[in-house]
A and B are shown apart, each in its own frame.
Chain A
Amino acid sequence: MSKSTHRGTLLAAASMATFLTVTACGSSEAPSTNAQSGTSQGASAPAEPVTITLQTFGGGKNFGYSEAVKEWNAKNPNIQIKYDNVAENFENDYLPQVLQWLEAGSGAGDIIGIDEMAMGLMAARPQYFADLAQYGLDSRKSEFPEWKWNTGVNADGKLFALGTDVGGLAMCYRKDLFEKAGLPTDREEVGKLWPDWASFIKTGQQFKAKLPKVGFIDGPVTVFNAILTQEAGKNGGLSYFDKENKLVVDTNPAVKSAFDTVQQISEGGLSAKLEAWSDPWNAAQKTGGFAAMACPSWMRGVISGNSGEENSGKWDVATIPGGSGNWGGSWLAVPSQSKHPKEAAEVLSYLTSKEGQLFAYKEAGGTPSTLAGQQDPAVADSVDKYFSDAPAGKIFAASTQSIAPIFFGEKHSQVRAAVEKVINGADQGAIKWGEAWAKFVAEGQMAGN
């Protein structure tokens, strides 16, 4: 995510809090080997040249497809891709716009990007998407982790979307602040400080004792999402909904457990009380307003974009308490309104292939979702210059190996937005923690039913 696009635009900052620019936000990644140049997927040439519009979302380098598209367009004169990043913000701008296009029957691209939080919503609307199996894409099943594949299967049991990247979880931290607080700064040793969340809280208290005015973590929501994905993995992959799309906010132990840990962190005074994706949150990354933040792979792009070049080398990446987790990641789908679904499916297949994903990783930093892509040396051996040359590939790949599948209900994003408000409210004092769980459940039920 480039500095100018992220911080410069008042308008962007204003009309949206960059709420979940989830996938591929770029980072100054330097893979140690070059991704091998692509081979086209055997595009059968139609008589007339066809233009396939590819619509994505996200700040900075978003999906990171410029190079992949250039490569394809050079090799396939008959199928040209037009790469159009529609909006920076998924939830507030991109999703409402795309839904209106789907409803209107025109306007949507031949291929559209979908963030994980809307996958349940899209899967419940099979009438708007082409069946990718019809174009032979079901043959690619073995390349993906099972959960990533299954999330792309809709309510009619048809394959409608293929995965691009996965979250992978680590903990990003400020070395300079850790040093001031007398904590170790080496990423190996920092990782050893917190094998689990209880020891993470203990570390936070040590930090707080030395630097009482600085937050140990940014705010409650990033940690909450990280723990929720971990706990959901232990509870059959469920977060807010069960597989019958019934709301389980109140009964799912994963939700309660994540909530309780966050309450402990907040009541212990470890939070800087910042709302994720807000301007003060962006600013605090630059000024050192907090020391650590749960960090999916793509979050590195957000941090480096917000903190700026002058803070290069102050951030580092360690393993997350609990070892692994998965937050974020996207899919590509072909709307049924596309006039060239066959060609669109071909392009989609190319972009989600190992080759396409390596292009995207190099450009924007989203960890490939294909197993072969994750193991490729271009990913596995890559280091992140901005994050003190951390072996990002190794750290995030390790965390994605043991990823637990997570199921997204139709109203996942609405419920998530509603309950996150409550957590922020409790953290900032607008809601008493004693009353917060009841409110959390009530708000979740109101949004999800």
Chain B
Amino acid sequence: MSLDLPAGRAGGHRRRRGAVRVRRSFLSRLDIHAAPYLFVSPYFVLFALFGLFPLVFTAWVSLHDWQLAGDKDWVGLANYGELLADEKFWNATYNTVGIFFLATVPQLLLALLLANALNKRLRFRLALRLSVLAPIVTSVVAVGVIFSQLYARDYGLINWVLGLFGMDDPIHWQNAKWSSWIAISTMVDWRWTGYNAIIYLAAMQTISRDIYEAAALDGASSRRQFWQITVPLLKPTIIFTVIVSTIGGFTLYAEPVIFGGGSVSGGTTGQFQTVAMFIVKEAFRDFEYGYAAAAAWVLFLLILIAALINYAITRGLGRSSR
């Protein structure tokens, strides 16, 4: 803090109050040095309580054969060994990654194009921008229920429409991997595309018009402007959305659970069981807490790895086109 005060006045002030200075200095030092930490502490206290403790405790549990309301025996890393050999876990991982790609790639591309369109001069621009954001305020459960009805085998709207085009055998969407993945991906996309589009739009508006004008003067088409100016300058934002989508995609739970009629098994043969569902099934249906805790930690590592890979890929965006 440097206030531009006349030196003499400040000095006199200090001299007059010299007597109380010693006693005050400890408190004021505490005020200056400790107060900021105190002010930010609520977040860290809450994080320690609800973030760090569960993380550490889960790690501790994962080293036991920990039955809910049952025996708890130390088994070391045995849960992890068993997990890595468990084909159901890998099936869940495969489903999670598959649904992630099927949902996220079109979602982010669509969001980018949508944001670009909304960034243009349009009639009813505000109304359009708001409507894009609308799905985010609907509850996941409502989305899941409505989409599950759309995709219902017997009375579903989508099978009815397909029937109009001559498809006689109704598709049982839950029955195969491909069909269930598509159904779940559309739920995810419906809800999150607008959210990402708004984030892109906000970032696009920070890009200076001058750059576009200069490019236009040089004869760059709007398409070229999009890919060579907008996208490279959006890179930090794209990295952010990719990482957030990765975390969301890898912890996907509510949509597939509702799609499966409330079961965490994800279809009769685990066609759409995600890792999050696998964890809940182990912990709260089979009561194997230790095993579920190990799976939760492996999921954490998987997300970390996937986020790093995605970060590396998106960081290279626009570089190749140089």
- B175 touching A96, Cβ below 8 Å: no
Interface residue B28 (Cβ < 8 Å from any Cβ of A): no
User: In the complex the two chains form, what is the Cα distance from A124 to B287 in whole Å?
Assistant: 14
Q: A99-B287, A279-B148 are in contact. Are A17 and B262 (CB under 8 A)?
A: yes
- A14 touching B69, Cβ below 8 Å: no
User: In the complex the two chains form, what is the Cα distance from A430 to B171 in whole Å?
Assistant: 12
List residues of B (173-213) whose CB comes within 8 Å of A's CBs.
175-176
Q: Which residues of B contact A (CB under 8 A)?
A: 68-70, 88, 141-142, 144-145, 148-149, 152-155, 172, 175-176, 257-258, 261-265, 267-269, 271, 284-287
- A289 touching B154, Cβ below 8 Å: yes
- A96 touching B262, Cβ below 8 Å: no
Residues of chain B within 8 A of A287, CB atoms compared? 155
Task: Output the nearest chain B residue to A282 by Cβ-Cβ distance.
Answer: B261
How many residues of chain A have a CB within 8 Å of chain B? 44
- B258 touching A14, Cβ below 8 Å: yes
CB-contact partner of A428 in B70, B145, B172, under 8 A: B172
Residues of chain B within 8 A of A278, CB atoms compared? 261
CB-contact partner of B154 in A13, A19, A100, A280, under 8 A: A280
Task: Output the nearest chain B residue to A439 by Cβ-Cβ distance.
Answer: B269
Q: How far is the CB of A281 from chain B (nearest CB, A)?
A: 9
Binds B, one of A137-145, A185-193, A374-382, A416-424: A416-424
Q: A15-B141, A421-B265, A421-B268 are in contact. Are A91 and B285 (CB under 8 A)?
A: yes
Q: A11-B141, A15-B141 are in contact. Are A103 and B69 (CB under 8 A)?
A: yes
Q: How far is the CB of B253 from chain A (nearest CB, A)?
A: 11
User: In the complex the two chains form, what is the Cα distance from A278 to B174 in whole Å?
Assistant: 12
- A447 touching B286, Cβ below 8 Å: yes
User: In the complex the two chains form, what is the Cα distance from A280 to B260 in whole Å?
Assistant: 11
- A128 touching B285, Cβ below 8 Å: no
- B152 touching A280, Cβ below 8 Å: yes
Interface residue A86 (Cβ < 8 Å from any Cβ of B): no
Q: How far is the CB of B178 from chain A (nearest CB, A)?
A: 12
- A431 touching B269, Cβ below 8 Å: yes
Interface residue A414 (Cβ < 8 Å from any Cβ of B): yes
Interface residue A135 (Cβ < 8 Å from any Cβ of B): no
Interface residue A197 (Cβ < 8 Å from any Cβ of B): no
Task: Output the nearest chain A residue to B72 by Cβ-Cβ distance.
Answer: A103
Residues of chain B within 8 A of A96, CB atoms compared? 68, 284-285, 287
- B263 touching A19, Cβ below 8 Å: yes
Of B68, B264, B268, most A-chain CB atoms within 10 Å: B268
Residues of chain A within 8 A of B262, CB atoms compared? 13-19, 89, 92
Residues of chain B within 8 A of A15, CB atoms compared? 141, 257-258, 262
Task: Output the nearest chain A residue to B149 by Cβ-Cβ distance.
Answer: A279
Q: List 14 additional A-B contacts (Cβ < 8 Å) besides A279-B152, A279-B261.
A: A13-B145, A16-B262, A17-B263, A89-B262, A92-B285, A96-B287, A100-B68, A103-B69, A125-B69, A278-B261, A279-B148, A411-B286, A429-B175, A431-B268
